[in-house]
Chain A
Amino acid sequence: MSRVTWRRRGPTVPPGTRRPDRDRAPVVRCEQVSVRFGARTVLDAVCCAVDPGQRVAVMGPSGSGKTTLLHVLAGLQPATGGAVRWPTLGSPAGWAPGTVMVSFQAPSLVASLDAAENVALPLVLAGVPDREARQRALAELAGLDLAGLAAQLPEELSGGQAQRVSLARALAARPVLLLADEPTGQLDGTTGMALVRMLVERAHAAGSALVVATHDPQVQDLLDTRWSISDGRLDAAARR
């Protein structure tokens, strides 16, 4: 079992802003959560919790279970053992669209919608009128310097552009919990770091808790909590 190695650094948000409120109930808590696919154990007795407004980096090599952990936290992957709870949100079945948003590692834009429509999608699902949803989507794209791609279809975007549009979609919904899986995977170093900085700022501004799965040490430095995961095990000391 690997040792806990986490460092706490200062937040990358402006001074005077709120720190994670650990006196409030966590957004999501895992208690001895395991996930098995057949004979293969992907997550093994994971215990962790994400507080409101907390910014967490999940570090680990490829195949360590980062993506599965994010899917469990998002309610997309049911746990084979243990329990996952969202004390302030209730059961995933009752969530309004946009409550918990995921930016997936693999391409996840809807092929038949252009970039603006993709970004507007969770807003429309949540009941926001079409016109307002489109305006917010365009604003979100502009915030990521993607305004010129609004009318492009996913197949016409590069991998990096598609990844950024996916993040814009997640941010547009102003979720309570935002999970980003390898957001810089298809970006160069400079662009990736700028993206993560913007991501942290926007998440903070929206009051969203942020969990980023990454294997990039520079990315983890931008987040105030780091979890280490290896072979499906999250070190107990890394919860807080």
Chain B
Amino acid sequence: MIGIWLAGLVRRRPGRLLAVTAGTAVTVAALASLAVFLTSAKQAMTAQATRRVAVDWQVAVPDPAATDRALRAVRADAGTAAAEPVGLATVPGLAASTRDAGGSVVSQQTASARVLGITAGYAGTFPGELRVLAGTVSLSGPGGPAALLAQQTASNLAARVGDVVRVRRPGLPVLAVTVAGVVDLPQADSLFQRVGAPAGSQPAAPPDNVMLLDLAEWHRAFDPMLAAHPEAVTAQVHVRRDHALPADPAAAFVAATGQARHLEAELAGTVTVGDNLAAALDAARGDALYAEVLFVFLGLPGAVLAAALTVTVAAAGAARRRRERSLLRLRGASPGQVLAVAAAEALLVGVAGAVLGLAGAALVGRAAFGAAAFGATPGAAAGWMAAAAAAGLGLAAAALLGPARRDLRHATVLAGWQQVATAARRTRGPLWARLGLDLAALLGAYAVYRVTSRAGYHLVVVPEGVPTISVSYWAFAGPALLWLGAAGLTWRLVDLLLHRGRRVVAVAVRPVAGRLAGLAAAGARRQRRMLARASVLGCLAIAFAASTAVFNSTYLAQAEVDARLTNGADVTVTEPPSAHAGPADAGRIAAVAGVRGVEPLQHRFAYVGSDLQDLYGVRPATILGAGTLQDAYFDGGTARQLIGRLANAADAILVSAETAHDYQLQPGDALTLRLRDAGTGHTIPVTFHYAGVVKEFPTAPRDSFFVANAGYVATATGDDSVGAYLVSTAGDPHPVAERIRALLGPGPRVTDLTTSRTAVGSSLTAVDLAGLTRVELGLGLLLAVAAGGLVLGLGLDERRRDLTVVAALGARASQVRALVGVDAALVTAATLLAGGMLGAVLSQVLVAVLTGVFDPPPESLATPWPYLAGVALATASGVLGGAAVVSRRAQRQVTANLRQA
């Protein structure tokens, strides 16, 4: 019997089966695609985390004499790709006597310093640990011992390449070395960590003074210190691992940690492993959590909406199914047999939908994310696939089997056969409407939003550079309540308008229905529940598409802003510390083809108290014209207003919020910085006056810096040299950067926005939204069209017989179209209006709750008008298309439709 029944369904009611199957497939595909997104995102996080670590392990060897043994053991370990011994010594200080611009000898001394001993191959093995700013990284060669100075150390000593620096050693003669190069240590925090010490006892900042020597020279210099000062001389083995780790960050963290512990155990506790790799993977675990947060906020509503749409599509044929089940009962089928038939239909739809959905998700994953993996491991993939398929089967059961079971329990056979329904006459709203749950949900959403929007999700970057995420799960409730409340309110308003506002509706639809407006409004009043349902689904689909698109556009826009902050301009030319390029040199760059403008930017190091901060000198008259500053970069005024303060008072200075707080600055307060004088080479006090707070500044690598008037700085220090040129281009910056690079040679560093975008796009969160964006925007469009067209079309199709009767009574084709068009127009108007408003509110909520994602936070939302217009157009087309199909069918198959029961 079941086989006959299913065969009959496939032959006679293919549309009905296809509609529910398609809805199930879309739901399964949406869930499975999100699994693919999560998988690819986690894989990317793991890969990026491992890539960013310069030295995977820093194996501390307390007894330097045991370094060779430790080195052998490390190199013999299966996962080690390379290992280099490193010596670390602490000395009382460094000193240098250098000549200033006037030829006078200037002497500088530093406080305690760290001296590292590295091998010749160290820079090549760990390229992320050293970045050469001047000179060479090679420490071997004829002549005396050579050394590399960290950038700040070179600044402290006023030392350049070729200068001699003296190293004070306790109990030993001073060691004189020649500066071979100046380097930047990008990962100084981890390089100088106390290996094995708890997180709370780590140094607050890396050492101010660092020198690097060749390892052999280091041993000659510091081995004699071992006996008298063993605590000042230590050794490490720096290790690069092969990164053969699981794709999932959590699993990779466990594996990496286990490998490090294994080494420690193997060496019987004689070493301690500073596991930088595991620390980075630990942070990636947090990023993975963030990806799951995005999944919940951006992805899950789409899947839930697809499921709701499927249930609604199934409900469109509920009356017919009920009648068929009643017919079965009248013909002698038992309740069990009726349920079996319904279960068979649900199983058919569920299995077909699950298979199609998973196949669709694999295709979508390959197209959107470049991979079709449902999980990082086979087990995870199987789990996700099973979960998505189970969701599809559950959905089919809810849509088809649930109503059958309910009718068997609560409805009589005769009621189902006669389709005694009071739906049209029903004036009593559903329970949730009578209780006002929709209004309560909206109030709850507002309350949760107010409480959590400030604390929602923040990415906290501690100075050591390890990102963590602070999660407030309570913030999930805000958008969820907003969805529910808005759906209910839309239903309430549409129902109210069609029920009580018949005259208003008649007037409103007169342009569509003409003389039939009154009857059409009467009909809409009786069909208001179906129209309200279609409107709610359409509204939610529009809101989903709109909010996702706005969030994604804002995310991309802020990534662009971040790239501009990082790079400074379309093209940025950064002069090396030893260069003395002046503002006049901007002319050479300006002459390059494709350059629209060049803005010089001073860069100095300034001491405030014992802190060393970056100081940027700007030309207030022209910096705004370079187009690199935004109002969001400043606090307490616009960019024009705050830069204007620098123009109005030459000694005005903008400081970071942290500096203003630490020094309790009030507007006009004097702030004395120590800057290096070009003439003497000494640091001299220069007085500024506090004028405001600057939060972000192009090229500023840290959050604490100063912005001052370049002219005042040049006059006070006798140095107008430029730190960087901010270049704006007409068109693609990359070829312009190539031309500038060719012009200036290898000295200055030339970077362009295109390269920075790529670097920033895979930045702190390592979550690439591009793939998710494509999936979500496509799903949003599909749901909007389906919700409007399919739901209304199916509802109208159930009334096909009525429309046929109207046609048989002599209605012209235009009159039949007008009656259908009224319903379509009402649904379209409600969908676009309510959906647009909800989408706007949801966008604000999502951006506010997820504000920690953005760096810097957006000033306003970026609205992708072309996409939104496309969605509106597609929705209206879907609705009108569905209505047109129904209208046509009603007029073409008159006698067949009339024979329908």
> What's the least CB distance linking B891 to chain A, in Å?
11
Among B425, B802, B805, B895, the residue within 8 A (CB) of A156 is B425
Point out the residues of chain A lying under 8 angstroms from B806, CB to CB.
110, 121, 125
Distance (whole angstroms) from the CB of B900 to the closest CB of chain A: 8
Contacts of B799 in A (CB 8 A): 111-112
Selected contact of B805 from candidates A71, A96, A108, A129, CB within 8 Å: A108
Q: Which residues of B contact A106 (CB under 8 A)?
A: 898-899, 901
Q: Which of B424, B526, B805, B815 has the most CB of A within 10 A?
A: B805
Question: How near does chain A come to B363, taking the closest CB pair, in angstroms?
Answer: 41
Residues of B within 8 A of A (CB): 419-422, 424-425, 515-516, 518-519, 522-524, 526-527, 799, 802, 805-806, 808-812, 815, 894-895, 898-899, 901
Cα–Cα distance between A67 and B810 once the two chains are bound (Å): 18
Partner of B515, one of A96, A98, A124: A124
Nearest CB in chain A: distance from B741 CB, A: 74
B810 with A117: CB separation less than 8 A = no
A81 at the interface (CB under 8 A from B): no
Q: Is the CB of B425 within 8 A of A97?
A: no
A/B interface sample: 23 pairs, CB < 8 A: A76-B898, A77-B894, A97-B809, A100-B810, A104-B808, A110-B523, A110-B806, A111-B802, A112-B523, A112-B799, A113-B522, A113-B526, A121-B806, A122-B809, A124-B515, A124-B516, A124-B519, A125-B516, A125-B815, A126-B810, A155-B421, A155-B424, A156-B425
A99 at the interface (CB under 8 A from B): yes
**Cβ B515 vs Cβ A127 within 8 A:** yes
Instruction: Give the shortest distance, in Å, between A41 (CB) and chain B (any CB).
Output: 16
Q: Are A153 and B809 in contact (CB under 8 A)?
A: no
Partner of B519, one of A97, A111, A121: A121
In the bound complex, how far is the Cα of B558 from the Cα of A193, in angstroms? 82
A134 to B523, CA, bound (A): 15
What residues of chain A lie closer than 8 Å to B522, measured between beta carbons?
112-114, 117
* Chain A window 76-98, contacts with chain B (Cβ cutoff 8 Å), 1 for yes, 0 for no: 11000000000000000001111
C-alpha gap A129/B515 in the complex (Å): 8
In the bound complex, residues from chain A placing their C-beta under 8 Å from that of B898 are: 76, 104, 106, 108
Interface secondary structure of B, over-half rule: helix
Residues on B with beta carbons closer than 8 Å to the beta carbon of A173: 810
Q: How far apart are B508's CB and chain A's nearest CB, in angstroms?
A: 16
Q: Smallest CB-CB separation from B808: which chain A residue?
A: A76
Q: A68-B895, A98-B810 are in contact. List 5 more A-B contacts (CB 8 A).
A: A98-B809, A112-B523, A125-B806, A153-B526, A156-B425
> Which chain B residue lies CB-closest to A120?
B519
B802 touches A112 (CB 8 A): yes
Distance of A52 from chain B, by nearest CB (Å)? 19
How distant is the Cα of A98 from the Cα of B898 in the complex, in angstroms? Answer: 18
Chain B nearest Cβ from A171, distance in angstroms: 13
Chain A facing B: main interface SS: loop
Closest to A152 in B: B425
Contact of B811 among A101, A125, A129 (CB under 8 A): A125
When distances are taken between beta carbons in the complex, the residues of chain B under 8 Å from A98 are 809-810
Q: B425 contacts which of A110, A125, A153 (Cβ < 8 Å)?
A: A153
Chain B residue numbers with a CB within 8 Å of A95 are 810
A186 nearest CB across to chain B (Å): 14
Q: Is the CB of A71 within 8 A of B425?
A: no
* Closest chain B CB from A34 CB (angstroms): 15
Q: Is A130 an interface residue (CB 8 A)?
A: yes
Give every chain A residue within 8 A of B526 (Cβ-Cβ).
111-113, 153
Residue in A102, A104, A113 whose CB lies within 8 Å of B523? A113
CA distance A93 to B810 in the complex (A): 9
Which A residues from 52 to 84 make CB contacts under 8 A with B?
68, 71, 74, 76-77
> Are A110 and B424 CB-contacts (below 8 A) given A95-B810, A126-B810?
no
Partner of A122, one of B420, B422, B518, B810: B810
- Cβ of A99: which chain B residues have Cβ within 8 Å of it? 810
Pairs of residues from A and B, 8 with the lowest C-beta to C-beta distance, nearest first: A97-B810, A112-B523, A112-B526, A110-B802, A130-B518, A122-B809, A108-B805, A125-B811
Question: A residues touching B (Cβ–Cβ < 8 Å)?
Answer: 68, 71, 74, 76-77, 95-102, 104, 106, 108-114, 117, 120-122, 124-127, 129-130, 153, 155-156, 169, 173
- Do residues B810 and A125 form an inter-chain contact, with CB atoms below 8 A? yes
| Closest CB in chain A relative to B415 CB, distance in Å | 12
Contacts of A121 in B (CB 8 A): 519, 806, 809
B810 lies within 8 A of A96 (CB): yes
Alpha-carbon distance between A92 and B812 when the two chains are bound, in angstroms: 10
A42 to chain B, nearest CB (A): 10
Which residues on A sit within 8 Å (CB–CB) of B516? Answer: 124-125
Residue of A nearest to B899 (CB): A106
Q: Is the CB of B811 within 8 A of A155?
A: no
| Minimum CB–CB distance for B494 against chain A, Å | 16
A109 to B799 alpha-carbon distance, docked (Å): 11
User: Once bound together, how far apart are the Cα atoms of A76 and B809, in whole Å?
Assistant: 10
A108 vs chain B, min Cβ distance (A): 5
Chain B nearest CB from A231 CB (Å) reads 19
Whether B808 lies near A102 (C-beta < 8 A) is: yes
Contacts of A153 in B (CB 8 A): 424-425, 526
Q: Which residue of chain B lies nearest to A116 when distances are taken between CB atoms in the complex?
A: B522
Q: Within the assembled complex, what's the spacing in Å between the Cα atoms of A106 and B897?
A: 11
Whether B810 and A76, one on each chain, are in contact in the complex, defined by CB atoms closer than 8 angstroms, is: no
Q: With A95-B810, A106-B899, A155-B424 as given contacts, are A124 and B518 in contact (CB-CB < 8 Å)?
A: yes
Report yes or no: B895 in contact with A71, Cβ–Cβ below 8 A. yes
A101 and B809 contact, CB distance less than 8 A: yes
A33 CB to nearest chain B CB (Å) = 15
- B603 to chain A minimum Cβ distance, whole angstroms, is 75
Decide: A112 and B805 in contact? CB cutoff 8 A. no
Does A110 contact B805, Cβ atoms closer than 8 Å? yes
Measured CB to CB, the closest approach of chain A to B42, in angstroms, equals: 53
Chain B residues near A97 (CB, 8 Å)? 809-812, 815
A149 CB to nearest B CB, Å: 14
| Shortest Cβ distance from B805 into A: residue | A108
Question: Closest approach, in angstroms, between the C-beta of B161 and any C-beta of chain A?
Answer: 90
Task: Name the contact of A76 in the complex, choosing from B422, B425, B894 (C-beta under 8 A).
Answer: B894
CB pair A112–B515 under 8 Å, yes or no, is: no
Which residue among B422, B515, B810 has the maximum number of chain A CB atoms within 10 Å of its CB?
B810
> In the complex, which residues of chain B have a beta carbon less than 8 angstroms from the beta carbon of A76?
808, 894-895, 898
Q: Are B894 and A112 in contact (CB under 8 A)?
A: no
Q: How far is the CB of A199 from chain B (nearest CB, A)?
A: 18
Q: Give Cα A124–Cα B899 distance, bound, in whole angstroms.
A: 25
| Chain B residues with CB under 8 A of A71 | 895
Of all chain A residues, the one with the shortest Cβ separation from B525 is A112
Q: Given A96-B810, A112-B424, A126-B810: A117 and B895 within 8 A (CB)? A: no
The answer for the CA separation of A100 and B422 in the assembled complex, in Å, is 33
Q: Which residue of A lies closest to B811 (CB)?
A: A125
**Are B519 and A113 within 8 A (Cβ)?**
yes
B99 nearest CB across to chain A (Å): 98
Max chain B Cβ within 10 angstroms of own Cβ: one of A74, A95, A108, A169: A108
Cβ contacts under 8 Å, B519 to chain A: 113, 117, 120-121, 124, 130
Tell me the bound Cα distance from A22 to B811 in angstroms: 30
A124 and B527 alpha carbons, distance in the complex (Å): 20
Q: How far is the CB of B495 from chain A (nearest CB, A)?
A: 15
Question: Bound state CA distance, A101 and B810, in angstroms?
Answer: 8
